[in-house]
Structures are given as C-alpha cells and as structure tokens.
C-alpha cells in the first residue's frame, strides 16, 4: 500500500505500507512510486504485509475484539475506577 502519511492512514496501515509525505506532496509521491516500480521484491514484501494487516479488519476479528472488550467491561462493573487496561488516557488531576 502506498498512502499519505496522514495519521489515520498510519494507524490503519501500520507497517504494511509505504508512506509519502503529505507536506512534500507530489514530489515525494513520485519518489515512492519510482521506488516501488523499481523494486518488485519490495512490492511483494508489502503485499504480504498488507494481506496480513487486512486480516485484522475482518468481521470475525473485529467482532471478537468487541466481544473481549464488552466481557472485560462487564467483569469490571461495580464501584470504583475502571481497571487500567480499560482506560485509554491518564487521569486528570482535580483540585
């Protein structure tokens, strides 16, 4: 995959893609395209990575992840704070 280095793209693609700089635009896109056109082995490597990465977004994988999350939330119910693995940011100091 050849994608712009925009953060949401990077979160989705991970190490399964080659990035071009959005700030540099067409110039960097050209460099990366030439790199891919001149290196079939590199293309094959990234093709394999992309197929592996795509499996993470299958319906089965996504629903399994939601099921684990919902079970963890259910098991953590009750008084008190959520367990740290269910919190996605640092607590805010009050006072």
pLDDT at 91 over 70: no
CA distance 92 to 60: 35
Which of 36, 56, 38, 55 shows the shortest CA–CA distance to 46? Answer: 36
pLDDT, tens digit, 9 for 90 and up, residues 51-89: 988 888 888 888 998 999 899 888 877 777 776 777 776
Identify the pLDDT of residue 56: 82
Identify the pLDDT of residue 93: 61
pLDDT, tens digit, 9 for 90 and up, residues 26-41: 998 999 999 999 999 9
Per DSSP, the three-state class of 4 is strand
pTM greater than the 0.85 cutoff: no
Q: Which residues of 19-44 are buried (b: 16+ CB within 10 A; e: fewer)?
A: bbeeeeeeebeeeeeeeeeeeeeeee
């Amino acid at each position: 995959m050849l994608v712009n280095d925009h953060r949401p793209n990077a979160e989705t693609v991970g190490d399964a893609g080659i990035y071009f700089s959005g700030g540099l635009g067409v110039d960097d896109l050209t460099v990366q395209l030439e790199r891919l056109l001149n290196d079939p082995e590199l293309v094959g490597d990234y093709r394999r990575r992309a197929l592996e990465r795509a499996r993470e977004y299958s319906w089965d994988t996504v629903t399994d992840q939601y099921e684990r999350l919902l079970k963890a939330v259910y098991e953590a119910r009750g008084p008190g704070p959520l367990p740290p693995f269910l919190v996605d940011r640092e607590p805010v100091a009050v006072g």
